[in-house]
Amino acid sequence: MSDVLRIGDRFGDYSVRALLGVGGSAEVYLAEDAVREELVALKVAVAGDDEVRRRFRNEIVIAGGLRHPNIAPIYGHGEWEAMLWLAYPYFPGGCAGELVARPSGGIEIARVLRVLAGVADALDYLHGLELVHLDVKPTNMLVGEGDSGVLTDFGIARGWTGPRSRAPVGVGSLPYAAPEVLAGAAPTPAADQYSLACSAIEFLTGHPPFPLPSRRAVLTAHLRSAPPDVSWRRPWIPHAVDSILAKSLAKRPEARYASCAEPIRLITRALRDADPPRLRPNR
């Protein structure tokens, strides 16, 4: 357990019940909100450097202005003993990263597709507001009501200012980063679609597109290598899914689909009659 907060700690209107997750710069707790009389997720920045604080404040500003059923709303935020915090709804379904295919190949395919559909809808809403997320990955998705995906973590989200912008761009997690962002170009909604496709590959096969041994190798693959055939990794996946993902992972952003929802809808249709391995029960 972290030393930042402990079970039973109270501050403001919140009482800590459990530690839900730990990241490089933040921890997320299950807490009881005395005002709302419900359980919430409490995110606390544990690293104090300027970049972490900038990202945390950016998340508060951007996510605080969004209203969509597949985006976690911010209930409150503030600073406590020099630590920034924010509260958002608690989703009992947990982190969507837990749905990534197991080494055995077992997967809850219907749940995965519902999560991807929800996140795709959230991204298209975001893009309609001329914003891009830039850190789309399974661990930044939650499982909401009816297994619908919920998008979280807007720390490096920013305005979509067009291809000629010279504004600095934050690069999210390398295994999911679009080649144009890695090359220093201003991001467009197509960058989020690329990251969503990388996430879909990880959900379906257990690994992102380029599971290589070094960061340099992964970066080079994003820039130069053809996307993998997921039907080769998992024979139960029809070849049609390879073609759909290849378009979403095109090196040129303009060659990708016009929305995030379209490729997920096509993948869902292609997998309608698929028969993946079932998950083995825990012993």
Please indicate whether the domains covering 9-89 and 94-271 agree at the CATH topology level: no
Distance CA 120, CA 126 (A): 10
Share of the chain above pLDDT 70, in %: 93
More reliable by pLDDT, 168 or 264:
264
Distance CA 121, CA 139 (A): 17
pLDDT tens digit sequence for 178-217: 999 999 998 999 999 999 999 999 999 999 999 999 999 9
Q: Going by C-beta distance under 8 Å and a sequence separation of 6 or more, which residues neighbour residue 2?
A: 19, 22, 27, 46
pLDDT tens digit sequence for 230-262: 999 999 999 999 999 999 999 999 999 999 999
Could you tell me where the DSSP H helices lie in the chain? 50-63, 109-128, 179-182, 189-205, 215-224, 230-233, 239-248, 261-270
Out of 33, 135, 147, 192, pick the active-site residue: 135
Does domain 9-89 match CATH 3.40.190.290? no
Does the annotation mark 135 as catalytic?
Answer: yes
Nearest to 60 by CA among 43, 40, 39: 43
Q: How far is CA 65 from the centre of its chain?
A: 19
Distance CA 94, CA 143 (A): 6
Mean of the pLDDT values across residues 18-47?
90
Confidence band (pLDDT; 50, 70, 90) for 49?
Answer: confident
pLDDT, residue 149, reads 97
The neighbour count for residue 263, using CB atoms within 10 Å, is: 24
User: What is the number of alpha carbons within 13 Å of residue 75 lying toward its C-beta?
Assistant: 19
Domain ranges of the chain: 9-89, 94-271
Binding site for ATP: what residues are annotated? 43
Give ∠ CA 131-133-137 in degrees, rounded to 5: 160
Binding site: what residues are annotated? 43
Architecture of domain 94-271: Orthogonal Bundle (1.10)
User: Average pLDDT of the chain?
Assistant: 91
pLDDT, residue 278, reads 83
Note the pTM of the prediction, 2 decimals.
Answer: 0.93
